[in-house]
Structure 1
Amino acid sequence: MFGRRRPQDIDDTDIDETPDLTADEDQETDEVPADDTARWDAAFARDEGPFDISEVDLDADADEVRRVDLGTIIITPFQGMTMQLQVNRETNAVQSILVGDGQSALEVAVFAGPSKSSMTGEIRDEIMATTTRQGGRCQAVEGPFGTELRRALPVTGPDGKPAMHLSRTWLVQGPGWVLRGVLLGKATFEVDNDEAQLALFEFFSNIVVRRGTSPAAPGSLLPMRVPEAEG
């Protein structure tokens, strides 16, 4: 089950700059019936990830896949991957990670969720409402992990001209957690280009969430930790 997409080994997980996330194009916004989003969500199963720690065997002797342990998530680097840790300066906790393939990037964060129900619909409603308040546009479509949100927010580009900041949001509900991935860069400009999102799609699919037993209110951020240096 786990490890079916076996990435090539890499020598280092590099730190790089965030890619340019602006574009001069808009996205259409359509009202989507709730029945459609429910159907899209129901059609997605986590059989091929992302996974809960209870669903996989991460014994080092079980395979030769290299992984990086960030506490609440365990990731599988891919060839040429760059990574940034998004750290809260006040608490020094890792709030999210930003991984990239040179043209696109994916910001990953994990939140506490209810154990027997889903709150992804509630989160999506909040994202859409926030986008509207900020003068942007948000469209719900069928994505690779159920309902996907495609957002366009007005920003000022590097040249000082108005532009649109485009993103795609993936939300996956697991036992007691919600994993969020925000896709940026080329994979948002070329949504029909499967090659542009393949590496990040497989990366997100291979994430393993370790929720832990500490109590946390649904919707609260589950911080990560800085990975230990390899000896």
Structure 2
Amino acid sequence: MLFGRSRKTQRESDEVLTPSAEEIEVQDTEGRAESGPFDASEVEERESYLDLGAVLIAPRQGLELRLEVEESSQRVIAVTMDLGESSVQVQAFAAPRSEGLWPEIREQIAESVRSQGGQTEELEGTLGAELIASVPAETPDGSPGYRVARFVGVDGPRWFLRGVFSGPAAIQRDAASELEELFRSLVVVRGDSPMPPRELLPLTMPKAPQEDEAAEEPSGLQAPERGPEITEIG
């Protein structure tokens, strides 16, 4: 697993046309408690995970992580997992005990995308209801194109986890399968402190690797930066 700087430009594969419903194959969705993402109370041991505070990540060969930082507060606001040519940005938020946030947030994201001149399509995918968004963007050669992202959301016990897939994983189910598996393996640590709904759960820099892992893992992190986002949570 490697860490690196947040990329300042979108991948070339993001500048593609809006996918049709046929390109995102509809599949059945299993229950969250059985298939993930998981709550910290549902995991017996955490030693094998990379601890980023509110989110625990299971290491995987070839996985690269980018921590994205808010300039004004210097707090970590998101983690992006890169695997191959695709990536998924992850954020965890506090949520009410009695109801989920995803239906309302999904509609707010759609409104935000439309206000930017983009288009959205709601589909039922492997993680439940998801939103495919395309926003006008300039391609590397200067011609007009679209930046495509796939928004997914999972409501857990007093938390909400949002993922934004980009690259081939935004429109090709085969390309997304491994990243989706990684997303499902995430563990959310909500904590006991009272927090208003939609407040970002605190992410932290990971601890430095132990000496016996130094040969396999990088010895430190490069200075993280805030990466590009299509829209805020609402």
TM-score, structure 2 length as denominator? 0.80
How many residues align structurally?
201
Residue 107 (structure 1) aligns with: 89
1:20-35 matches, cutoff 5 A: 20-27=12-19
User: In the alignment, residue 197 of structure 1 is paired with which amino acid?
Assistant: A
- Work out the CA distance in 1 between the residues paired with 2:136 and 2:46: 46
- Contact map agreement 1:177 1:211 (CA 8 A) in 2: yes
User: In the alignment, residue 82 of structure 2 is paired with which amino acid?
Assistant: G
Task: Kindly provide the CA deviation profile for residues 24-68 of structure 1, in whole angstroms up to 9, marking residues without a partner as x.
Answer: 423459xxxxxxxxxx99x541111000001110154xxxxx320
Indicate whether 1:13 and 2:2 are aligned.
Answer: yes
1:115-126 matches, cutoff 5 A: 115-126=97-108
SS of the residue aligned with 1:204? Answer: helix
- Contact map agreement 2:14 2:168 (CA 8 A) in 1: no
How far 1:102 sits from its partner (Å)?
2.1
- Work out the CA distance in 2 between the residues paired with 1:207 and 1:24: 29
How far 1:101 sits from its partner (Å)?
1.0
- Contact map agreement 2:130 2:153 (CA 8 A) in 1: yes
SS of the residue aligned with 1:126? Answer: helix
Indicate whether 1:218 and 2:197 are aligned.
Answer: yes
Indicate whether 1:45 and 2:31 are aligned.
Answer: yes
Identity of aligned pairs, percent? 35
Q: 1:212 to 1:90 in 2, by over 3 A?
A: same
Residue 71 (structure 2) aligns with: 89
Residue 109 (structure 2) aligns with: 127
Residue 43 (structure 2) aligns with: 56
Q: What's the RMSD between the two structures over aligned residues?
A: 2.0
- Contact map agreement 1:16 1:82 (CA 8 A) in 2: no
Residue 6 (structure 1) aligns with: none
Indicate whether 1:183 and 2:183 are aligned.
Answer: no
Indicate whether 1:148 and 2:151 are aligned.
Answer: no
- Contact map agreement 1:140 1:147 (CA 8 A) in 2: yes
- Contact map agreement 2:16 2:148 (CA 8 A) in 1: no
- Work out the CA distance in 2 between the residues paired with 1:20 and 1:211: 35
User: In the alignment, residue 203 of structure 2 is paired with which amino acid?
Assistant: M
- Work out the CA distance in 2 between the residues paired with 1:132 and 1:160: 22
Query: Where do 5+ consecutive residues of structure 2 fail to align?
Result: 22-26, 211-234
User: In the alignment, residue 45 of structure 1 is paired with which amino acid?
Assistant: G
- Contact map agreement 1:53 1:208 (CA 8 A) in 2: yes
- Work out the CA distance in 2 between the residues paired with 1:103 and 1:80: 11
Write out the 4+ residue segments of structure 1 that deviate beyond 4 Å after TM superposition: none
TM-score, structure 1 length as denominator? 0.81
